[in-house]
Amino acid sequence: MKDIQIKLLEFAKSDCMSYLLNLPVIAPYSDQISFVLVGSVASGLCQENSDIDIALICDDKIYKIISKNSSWDKGIPTETKLNGIQLHYFGITSDKIKAKLEQLDDIFLFVYSNVIILKNEQKIESLNAFIKKASKIRRQRIEGKLDMLLRRLLAFKQCLIEKDIMVTYRICMDLITICLKVIALLDNVPFDPRKRFFKTALSGELGQKLQRKVQIIFSELGKIGQQGDDEAFIYSDLPGKFDDIVQCLSDETVKQGFRVGLEKPDYRHMEN
């Protein structure tokens, strides 16, 4: 654990928890709420100026009470500053977390697979049980995302033939995103799709090997809108560059004992 993580963790356990447990709206129900440190401090990706994020996990009944006058339903945490350090806290029901994890939601998997329990661990037994299935979940994500990558690559090649610039660009961004996620999963590196995604997804051994190839695709991406000539558009070199990366990912997937290609797509891995 890094020094800054230790420092912020101790601050969360002392100052932040003291603040939360004394809030009038929370204090009467504190024994029915699990206080869980999430985000960069919990995952170890924190820096000197990182915020502290605490999730208040509870059942529906308690959530309705403590969420009054908040914007938690809109995904906006409550913010306050304690001794110069920003605290974000929000309530969420255990049922919502469970549902999102079962959907293999990348953000929820990152957040709730990297937690530090601050109070009432027994209240989130179902979350702990889900996290213990991490190896099975990783297999599902690798196989499902790689299969989706293969299917989207076929759609990308078809769009090049049809010369639809906007759709081609959108699918290309989907391909890059899925590639990064598969790379991170094969390296078994935690990643947050919302921030520092490129850096963290490529931080492992396979990521370092493929980083230059991904960067080249980004540089080629800007040329899509400049394809004024039909022949140039049809024979864009992007499919070949994606094929190269996908082949590397497929080889590594087989090497690790996972399947390449599913009988039918798992739409939980479709990029929104």
pLDDT of res. 225: 62
Q: Is the pLDDT of residue 131 over 70?
A: no
Pick the more confident residue, 183 or 45. 183
**Tens-digit pLDDT profile for residues 73-88:** 999 999 999 999 999 9
As a whole number of angstroms, the distance between CA 166 and CA 104 comes to 28
Which letter, b or e, does each residue of 137-176 get, where b requires 16 or more Cβ atoms within 10 Å of its Cβ?
Answer: bbeebbbbbbbbbbbbbeebbebbeeeeeeebeebbebbb
**Tens-digit pLDDT profile for residues 166-176:** 888 888 899 99
pLDDT of res. 102: 87
Tokens of 189: 């590196």
**Tens-digit pLDDT profile for residues 233-259:** 554 688 899 999 999 999 999 999 999
For residue 4, give Cα distances in angstroms to 10, 14, 15, 167: 10, 15, 16, 44
Pick the more confident residue, 272 or 264. 264
